[in-house]
Structure 1
Amino acid sequence: MSTNSQIQQQVSKEEWQQRVDLAACYRLVAQFGWDDLIFTHISARVPGPEHHFLINPYGMLFEEITASSLVKVDLQGNKVMDSDFDINPAGFTIHSAIHAARDDAKCVLHTHSINGVAVSAQKEGVLPISQQSIFVLASLAYHDYEGVALRDDEKPRLVDDIGDKLFLMLRNHGLLTVSESIADAFLYMYLFEAACMIQVRAQSGGGELLPIAPQIIDTAMAQAQAVTRQAGGALAWPALLRRLDRKNPGYDQ
């Protein structure tokens, strides 16, 4: 496999930074316990005119991924840069469909977290019962389960279902977020996962759940922008990287 210095010399400064951020995102997903061994994916578009994307090397744990080990592919999942690793075709079926359909889909993050799958199996989906849930519900779509995502004919239905939303619940399957940046996609997944975890715990308590009024959900995005000063995930991202540097450094290699 190519070394860090070899890969860095072959790509633009912008691509290298995207690689570093994506590798960090993979490791943070593992650190937060949302990973599923070597399965699920986070993909990011390579800055530049080509429709090239970075995705995880199939077979590596998320906690092991580095900037130089990420695989660069085109929209068909073909490698456009030498790599010793393959990619998971099922994973890129979902990701490529969304990347191709939306210019704002610079990063697509997908998980099979226990809480996320639990709520995805519930008919009513995400309930408006927590502060975290209102941000999710303000931009949430659903896609029905069609089996392991291997068929290209599922792509149009997936694209139609997500529309312009930032959050997608894949029923009986897991969670997915879409964003202009890796930092925002991670923040959205943090909110998505938190909403699902709170819901599962609240339901397990057995008491009557108290719903949040629809008019509050309607203003959720404006409230979120006010809290984050319009910066979204970028505000938390440097702190998350500092945490990662303390606990699992080396993602930038």
Structure 2
Amino acid sequence: MATAVLRNSQMSESEWKARQELAACYRVFAMLGWDEMIYNHITVKVPDEEDAFLINPFGLHFSEVKASNLVKIDIDGNKLDDNPYPVNLAGFVQHSVFHRNLPDAHCIMHTHTTAGMAVSSLEGGLQPVNFYAANFVGQIAYHDFEGVTVRSEEGERLIAHLGDKRAMLLKNHGILVMGRTLPEAFIKHWSLQRACEIQMATLSMGKPLTISPEVVAVHQRDLSKVQIPGGAGRADFDAMVRRVDKIDPSWRE
């Protein structure tokens, strides 16, 4: 009942749906071990609103995020609701620059996974040595580490280094991906995370086999042939949400 009152009296149905999907995503990340204490961020634009997006409440673990406790802020970091939780400045500064400048960046994900940070700290970064890495050859950007992302002037360099890419390894820092939908960003993060995990394992054993540019081109050309209907990442994300529901469905609240 409380959930229905919140949805109907304080926000549009489209915002409530966006909140639930984002809250579910935080729980999925926690389930998959992609959380980092109370840090890191996943943000989504609020549907039908100009320059407003949702971000996790600073101080809560990903496993504690619910639809109702997500914080709604504007592009300048001002809270647009009476949420009592603060917003992590690093999350706002990094994500707002992309939401502000990239119309197609509906959802942005940034993590400090062990594999993501390890590969981003490696000379040469991601290498074409496994199936998932082949997805990203020529599709990934890099940005030099400048310290914790709390200075707005770094935003110009982040945008410049991203260019026309929508996945980035922040050197010595971690993974950053974005998508036109949350499921699209999710499957991009999942695939990049897997590529990093497998690269770590492969390099620990010796000299890897490198995939040729010709095979990479064929691989990327044919990827769309194995995508099921519903949009990029939709079926994958929904499957993970069903797993989360078996653990704790309170993200819906």
> How do residues 1-253 of structure 1 correspond to structure 2 at under 5 angstroms?
4-9=3-8, 10-205=10-205, 207-229=206-228, 231-253=231-253
Paired with 1:226 and 1:78, the residues of 2 have a C-alpha distance of 43
AA aligned opposite 2:210: P
AA aligned opposite 2:6: I
AA aligned opposite 1:69: N
Q: Would the aligned equivalents of 1:67 and 1:251 in 2 still touch at CA under 8 Å?
A: yes
Q: Would the aligned equivalents of 1:130 and 1:198 in 2 still touch at CA under 8 Å?
A: yes
Q: Secondary structure at the match of 1:176?
A: strand
Going from structure 1 to structure 2, the CA distance change for 1:6 and 1:25 (only over 3 Å counts) comes to: same
Q: Would the aligned equivalents of 1:228 and 1:235 in 2 still touch at CA under 8 Å?
A: no
Q: Would the aligned equivalents of 1:225 and 1:232 in 2 still touch at CA under 8 Å?
A: no
Unpaired segments ≥5 residues, structure 1: none
Structure 1 position 101, deviation (Å)? 1.1
Q: Give per-residue Cα distances to partners, 1:162-210, cap 9 Å, x unaligned.
A: 12212110000000111011111111111111011101111111x2210
Unpaired segments ≥5 residues, structure 2: none
Q: Secondary structure at the match of 2:43?
A: strand
Q: Would the aligned equivalents of 1:45 and 1:52 in 2 still touch at CA under 8 Å?
A: yes
Paired with 1:143 and 1:223, the residues of 2 have a C-alpha distance of 29
Q: Would the aligned equivalents of 1:128 and 1:211 in 2 still touch at CA under 8 Å?
A: yes
AA aligned opposite 1:211: T
Q: Would the aligned equivalents of 1:41 and 1:111 in 2 still touch at CA under 8 Å?
A: yes
Paired with 1:68 and 1:6, the residues of 2 have a C-alpha distance of 11
Q: Secondary structure at the match of 2:147?
A: coil
Q: Give per-residue Cα distances to partners, 1:221-240, cap 9 Å, x unaligned.
A: 43222111462201222212
Tell me how large the CA RMSD over aligned residues is: 1.3
AA aligned opposite 1:25: C
AA aligned opposite 2:15: E
AA aligned opposite 1:216: V
Going from structure 1 to structure 2, the CA distance change for 1:219 and 1:165 (only over 3 Å counts) comes to: farther
Q: Secondary structure at the match of 1:54?
A: strand
Q: Secondary structure at the match of 2:77?
A: coil
* Identity of matched residues, %: 38
AA aligned opposite 1:222: R
Paired with 1:156 and 1:4, the residues of 2 have a C-alpha distance of 40
Q: TM-score, normalised by structure 1?
A: 0.95
Q: Would the aligned equivalents of 1:138 and 1:218 in 2 still touch at CA under 8 Å?
A: no
AA aligned opposite 2:3: N
Structure 1 position 138, deviation (Å)? 4.1
Paired with 1:234 and 1:222, the residues of 2 have a C-alpha distance of 20
Q: Give per-residue Cα distances to partners, 1:10-62, cap 9 Å, x unaligned.
A: 11111111101100111111111111010010000000042100000000000
Structure 1 position 6, deviation (Å)? 4.0
Q: How many pairs are equivalent?
A: 250
Paired with 2:133 and 2:221, the residues of 1 have a C-alpha distance of 15
Paired with 2:49 and 2:214, the residues of 1 have a C-alpha distance of 41
